A and B are shown apart, each in its own frame.
Chain A
Amino acid sequence: QKEVEQNSGPLSVPEGAIASLNCTYSDRGSQSFFWYRQYSGKSPELIMFIYSNGDKEDGRFTAQLNKASQYVSLLIRDSQPSDSATYLCAVNSGIYGGSQGNLIFGKGTKLSVKP
């Protein structure tokens, strides 16, 4: 059973702080890793993706990947109240079973940024 684990939160940070969101995955065959943001009642929106070990930065967002530890994280610098949402970690199904092209989602971490 492929799994993606996230702390459900809520994670509360003050405005301007760094929010750190973590995710672990079970399928060693996974190659692609994604972070989605989902506002309440809305559809998920892709904000970051990473394929290689190390860091990837895009504006205030940094994704970090450690395949040996099967660990993905998302850092949000200078957090804003508008960043308050649920963040979903997603991992592609590896080559060992599973439907083709499926993304396995974690249950999400709810982030609250306090003004």
Chain B
Amino acid sequence: EAQVTQNPRYLITVTGKKLTVTCSQNMNHEYMSWYRQDPGLGLRQIYYSMNVEVTDKGDVPEGYKVSRKEKRNFPLILESPSPNQTSLYFCASRPSLRSYNEQFFGPGTRLTVL
């Protein structure tokens, strides 16, 4: 089954404790991205990757890191989480940069930073 998986699905942590949210897709997609969704602010892109070893900042990259060592995986790293990073996070993938209509979203990770 074609899918994007994220782990963990729910996480409660404390300020400053490094964490990683994993994202994996089994569709051989080149383009992957991370979004956060906040009430009243909508979905905003954090980082994106056009292919292995090619990553760049989205609209709200502060406080986040990513890596793309393999095509299928695109982890989101919070080196020192803060309460303002409490949010619902979605990973998304699609075959290529312009294949917008083939974008899949993962199930989401609800993160709470105390």
Contact = CB atoms under 8 A, between A and B. Distances in A.
Decide whether A and B assemble into one complex. Answer: yes
B101 A105 contact: no
Contacts of A45: 105
Nearest to B91: A43
Nearest to B61: A99
17 contacts: A42-B107, A42-B108, A43-B90, A43-B108, A44-B43, A45-B105, A90-B43, A98-B59, A99-B45, A99-B48, A99-B57, A99-B58, A100-B97, A101-B48, A101-B100, A102-B45, A105-B42
A99 B57 CA distance: 7
A42 B50 CA distance: 25
A94 interface: no
Given A88-B42, A99-B57, A100-B56, A43 B106 contact: yes
A34 interface: yes
Given A32-B101, A44-B90, A102-B45, 13 more contacts: A34-B100, A41-B108, A49-B101, A92-B100, A99-B57, A99-B58, A99-B59, A100-B48, A101-B33, A101-B50, A101-B97, A105-B43, A106-B42
Interface of A: 32, 34, 41-46, 49, 88, 90, 92, 98-103, 105-108
A74 to B, nearest CB: 15
A44 B103 CA distance: 10
Contacts of A106: 42
B43 A88 contact: yes
Contacts, number: 58
B2 interface: no
Contacts of B59: 98-99, 102
Given A42-B108, A43-B106, A102-B48, A34 B40 contact: no
Interface in B61-114: 90, 97-98, 100-101, 103, 105-108
Contacts of B31: 101
B79 to A, nearest CB: 21
